[in-house]
Amino acid sequence: MDWSRFRFIDLFAGIGGIRLGFESVGGICVFSSEFDEDACKTYEANFGEHPAGDIAKIAAQDLPDFDILLGGFPCQAFSIIGKKEGFANETCGTLFFDIERILKAKRPPAFMLENVRNLAAHDGGRTFHVIRSHLESLGYHVHAKVLNALDYGVPQKRERIIIVGFLENVPFRFPEPVPEVQRKSLRDILEIDVDEKYYVRPKIRELRLKRLKAKDFPKPYISYENMAKSVTPHAYSSALRAGASANYILINDERRPTEREMLRLQGFPDSFRIVVPYTKIRHQCGNSVAVPMIAAVAKSMLEALRLHECRDSSYEVCMAWTA
């Protein structure tokens, strides 16, 4: 197969972060699905297609043929912050079984799934054991690792478990972190001349500064209020959260990040169109993925698939694929 142009489906698509990552290595999206209508508006504005609705209501045989299944399946059921109900949550947790249903029917050569870090530890590891065993029972060779977006070029500490599977025993390795010089700093993503509407009230700023743990921390920084109610500054952002309060993270304890800055923290290009209000784009960014991290995983997957196929191909074909 020519893996320079492969087909993928984008399940639980959100605003298309995973799609961007796999398009960057030559992938062509042949189907997308997203339940949230506001996210669909953003997706359509940027990709020219309105995702299909609830994947649970779509029969596997109605999907086009594809080579890789992609899915950042809903994580609220497994989140440290959420109720941690896992598979007991009938509306979110069991959506994994729709992935299983589609994999069983379509048998694509590979898949990549993304979820919160806590999925691996949820219910003493039993939830992830169920997921892995179900994937392996379909014949897939499964690889899983927690990756941090900070290691792949964006100034956001965002740890997520990435689950990769192949029908054949493909020699896969997760991508190495990128060198420090290739990583963007906060200064690289912050806008200049930000509108006053993003600045917090003086009283909020005063209360934040009183609880600031390191009052001489160099600017620019992003702070957040931790569980102990102290305000901790960092040279990077903590993980964007869909359900966070308006002042969850503040830049220099002065203002909220702009829409563009939140998208940049997730590695979206500046050409990405914003078509929904601030509160909705904040929610969408909190639910999205760090695009450069996904792109790095996609590149590693494609390299592994090409190398694996080289074993059964002529030298000339192999050299063309790996060039």
Catalytic residues: 75
DSSP conformation class of 275? -
Answer yes or no: are the C-beta atoms of 249 and 257 closer than 8 Å.
yes
The contacts found for 18-21 with CB under 8 angstroms, 24 or more apart, are 18/70, 18/71, 18/72, 18/112, 18/114, 18/289, 18/294, 19/47, 19/70, 20/268, 20/269, 20/291, 20/294, 20/295, 21/289, 21/291, 21/292, 21/293, 21/294, 21/295, 21/297, 21/298
What span, in angstroms and rounded, lies between the C-alpha atoms of 146 and 70? Answer: 17
Q: To 5 degrees, how large is the angle CA 81–CA 87–CA 88?
A: 85
Please give the full DSSP string across 21-33, using - where no structure is assigned.
Answer: HHHTTT-EEEEEB
Helix (H) / strand (E) element for 146: namely strand 141-148
Of 222, 151, 221, whose CA–CA distance to 182 is shortest? 151
DSSP conformation class of 199? B
Answer yes or no: are the C-beta atoms of 259 and 274 closer than 8 Å.
yes
Answer yes or no: are the C-beta atoms of 132 and 178 closer than 8 Å.
no
Per the structure block, which two tokens stand in for 139?
């014949």
Question: Phi and psi for 74 in degrees, rounded to 5?
Answer: -50, 135
What span, in angstroms and rounded, lies between the C-alpha atoms of 318 and 323? Answer: 8
Helix (H) / strand (E) element for 176: namely none
Of 146, 158, 159, 170, whose CA–CA distance to 67 is shortest? 170
